[in-house]
Amino acid sequence: MIDTSPCLKSVDPRDRFIRYRRKDNYGLKKMTICIASICDKYENPKIVFCADKQIAGDVKFDRLMPKMRRIRRNCVVLESSDDVLISESILDDVEQRLKQENDDLTIRQIVDIICKVCEEFKNKKIEKDVLSKYTHTSDFLKFDKNTYSQHALQERLNYKYPPFEFIILGMDSPTEPHIFTVNHHGDYKPWDSVGYAVSGIGSDLAFSEMTKWNYSIFESLSLAITKVYFAKKEAQRAPNVGDTTNFAVMGYTTNTETKEEQVVIRELPEWSQYIGILEDSYKNIQAKEINAITKTANVLGRMMNDEGKGKKKRK
């Protein structure tokens, strides 16, 4: 059993999220949107998750390889990165290390491994890109030792390590779903108590949409899928968030032959009837909101006109 109680202390999960984004991610310019949410917590727990497919750089394009990687039978990583070569190299290393571990690792233990690999990779990259220039001694280069050290330290402090963030989701058992985030520094945060996590440049918009519908871990699967899909659609208003989406659900099911519980991940294809219904519903809600705003504005306009006419009569 994993104890995730010592998460960020806050009465309101929204306050917790805002403090987290401002403190750890201020100024980071990411692409993409990744969302993961726990649902049906006390009946038949599942995790709904999605990510767009767009890769941004000098040219924007959708790639065939999704930003979701199943690193264990019961664990998936969603990837939000400014440099996919770095983040995917890290996940390659993580998978190699997991092959050396037993199959009973908890999601929290997998997160610890990811944190360690992230930290090691960052140190090696800084060593290669910055500190390798200073392998010669100051005596050899005829530099003042203090100046030499200050140059190395200043370049190290000014070094811009490409930001990225992983959402790690998984289930330790049929009743234990978990969601964590890990950033490029190798720092992790648990999101079980909030019930969902978002990452990428569209995360603020997605989070706002999730709070708008008062998302909780008690949502039914169908309601969770609907709210997560709406949050992803809202995130598309941000730059570098693709329109196409990988959408999936993780949960346990009973094997009919062995009668054992096993983890199953079911993907929702973009062309499926579910996506069509969700898309139509999202457009209908948008249209109703626009109509309601227009109707309210017309009522206020008439009231303001009547008020103006009354003032003229009194004069």
**Mean of per-residue pLDDT scores for the chain:** 81
Spatial CB neighbours of 282, under 8 Å, sequence gap ≥ 6: 229, 230, 233
Angstrom distance (rounded) from CA 134 to CA 174: 53
Scored b (16 or more CB within 10 A) or e, 94-109 reads: beeebeeeeeebbbbe
Could you tell me which residues come within 8 angstroms of residue 220 by beta carbon, excluding any fewer than 6 positions away? 39, 40
pLDDT higher than threshold 60 for residue 85: yes
Spell 260-279 as b/e; 16+ CB within 10 A means b: eeebeeeebeeeeeebeebe
For the residues 162-174, what does the mean pLDDT come to? 93
- Is the pLDDT score of 229 beyond 70? yes
| Mean pLDDT across 218-245 | 93
Q: What pLDDT sits at residue 136?
A: 52
Distance (Å, whole) CA 196 – CA 207: 9
pLDDT at 20: 44
Place of tokens 């009946």: 43
What is the percent of the chain where pLDDT is above 70? Answer: 74
- Residue-wise pLDDT for 14-23, tens only, equals 444 444 444 4
Would you say residue 315 has pLDDT above 80? no
pLDDT above 90 (res 82): no
Per-residue confidence (pLDDT) for residue 131, from 0 to 100: 57
Query: In the predicted model, is pLDDT for residue 31 greater than 80?
Result: no
